[in-house]
Amino acid sequence: MKNVVLIPGDGIGSEITNSVTTILEKAGAEVNWVEKSAGLKAYEETDNPLPDDTVEAIDEHRIALKGPLTTPVGSGFRSVNVALRQKFNLYSNIRPARTLPSIDTPFRDVDMVLFRENTQGLYIGKEQWVEEADKERHSEAIAVVTEKASEQIIRAAFEYAVRNERKKVSLIHKANILKLTTGLFLEVGKRVAEDYPDIQFEDLIVDNMAMQMVMRPQQFDVVVTTNLFGDILSDLASGLVGGLGVTGAANIGDDAAMFEAVHGSAPDIVGKNIANPLALLFSSLMMLEHIDQHQVAENIRKAIYKTLVEKKVYCTPDIGGKGTTSTFTQAICDNI
């Protein structure tokens, strides 16, 4: 049994968490859930959106599965999610996007995995007003790109490609304009690529990438990029295969990993039993793979695909079904 910290989170969090733990139990996953709180619920109960015993539990067990969190206004945290990523140096944000059966989108046969640098770039929070008397308002932001962090995320992408028998890594940048920051990222990428002669390597400028992803997304396999570009392109990639409700995500560092749904707490549908559990479920499959329970993950994936083919009856309304969170969960369990 592997201990995993479970943070159900806010809003629809407990509904989709119940679904996921039910399905994993049915599939025989060897996981012992250590339930902890964070977000708005934790703030209301303890005055702290990220209680010490939650942090201590992640520190001890090193793996967490997390539902969506509402960051309470006025709690002194910019974002609990960002705080967790920084605290445990979860430098890789990994977002697979794979075409799913029976989910209508204009795109076919997409199968890409995007690696986003999760700790630097323009998202370090160094934004300020510049005082200039008698002039118009002036603000600026600083982007940080270090050789070490670039190498970590790029190497993580190549290692993933090797482990999963992927053929190509595409590095996305804007080195023609941001010559020092994303230029450094590109330079490190070219150097790291030399260590992986069996993996094809290419680099694309981000604006071209945006077009290519819509024109011919099938050409991409593993993609690696800096924080801001990764934030935008990973949502674009999700959109190609059905959106944030059906794509999972992982945040991985050298000695801790946190798996999460990328959507929010969906306040408009809380308590209606119509939340789609797939995003958190796919995140939990990434978790099972991370702890080497590959067969269980594969069995659940097959059951999900089978259920999606029958979707009109069992699946949640957001993907065109007539069912509820409960019927969807039950159908996946029955198909395992």
The residue ranges that bind ligand NAI (CB under 6 A) are 12, 16, 68-71, 81, 245, 260, 263-269, 275-276, 279, 318
Helix 294-309 / helix 325-335 crossing angle, nearest 10 deg: 120
Q: Does 15 bind Mg ion (CB under 5 A)?
A: no
Q: Does 231 bind Mg ion (CB under 5 A)?
A: yes
State which residue, 230 or 323, has the beta carbon closest to Mg ion.
230
The residues, any chain, with a CB within 8 Å of residue 174's CB and separated by 6 or more, are 182, 205, 206, 207, 229
Min. distance of Cβ 17 from Mg ion in angstroms?
A: 21
Strand (E) or helix (H) holding 63: strand 63-66
Instruction: Work out what residue 318 binds among ligand NAI, Mg ion, none; the CB cut-off runs from 5 to 8 Å by kind.
Output: ligand NAI
Window contacting Mg ion (CB under 5 A); options: 31-39, 132-140, 224-232, 312-320: 224-232
State which residue, 101 or 320, has the beta carbon closest to ligand NAI.
320
State which residue, 87 or 155, has the beta carbon closest to ligand NAI.
87
Q: What gap in Å lies between CA 118 and CA 284, rounded to an integer?
A: 20
Catalytic one of 41, 66, 174, 311: 174
Q: What is the CA 280 to chain-centroid distance, rounded?
A: 10
**CA distances from residue 232 to 114, 143, 209, 271 in whole angstroms, order as listed:** 11, 16, 11, 30
- The answer to whether 84 and 90 have CB atoms below 8 angstroms apart is yes
Catalytic-residue membership of 167: no
Catalytic-residue membership of 123: yes
Catalytic one of 52, 207, 292, 334: 207
State which residue, 9 or 253, has the beta carbon closest to ligand NAI.
9
Catalytic-residue membership of 109: no
Min. distance of Cβ 114 from Mg ion in angstroms?
A: 11
Helix 294-309 / helix 278-290 crossing angle, nearest 10 deg: 160
- The answer to whether 59 and 202 have CB atoms below 8 angstroms apart is no
Catalytic one of 123, 160, 311, 314: 123
Using CB positions, name the residue nearest to ligand NAI. Answer: 264
The residues, any chain, with a CB within 8 Å of residue 249's CB and separated by 6 or more, are 93, 94, 95, 234, 259, 260, 261, 262, 283, 286
State which residue, 117 or 231, has the beta carbon closest to Mg ion.
231
Q: Does 117 bind Mg ion (CB under 5 A)?
A: no
Min. distance of Cβ 329 from ligand NAI in angstroms?
A: 13
- SS3 at position 138: coil
The residues, any chain, with a CB within 8 Å of residue 92's CB and separated by 6 or more, are 115, 116, 117, 118, 152, 153, 156, 157, 250, 251, 252, 253
Catalytic-residue membership of 207: yes
Catalytic one of 235, 305, 306, 318: 235
State which residue, 71 or 92, has the beta carbon closest to ligand NAI.
71
Phi, psi of 194 (to 5 degrees): -65, -25
Catalytic-residue membership of 174: yes
Min. distance of Cβ 222 from Mg ion in angstroms?
A: 19
Using CB positions, name the residue nearest to Mg ion. Answer: 231
Instruction: Work out what residue 266 binds among ligand NAI, Mg ion, none; the CB cut-off runs from 5 to 8 Å by kind.
Output: ligand NAI
Min. distance of Cβ 70 from ligand NAI in angstroms?
A: 4
Instruction: Work out what residue 231 binds among Mg ion, ligand NAI, none; the CB cut-off runs from 5 to 8 Å by kind.
Output: Mg ion
Closest CA to 193 of 132, 163, 151: 151
Helices (H) and strands (E) in the chain, counts: 12, 12
Closest CA to 225 of 166, 182, 275, 162: 182
| Residues carrying an active site annotation | 123, 174, 207, 231, 235
- Which chain residues interact with Mg ion by CB under 5 A? 231
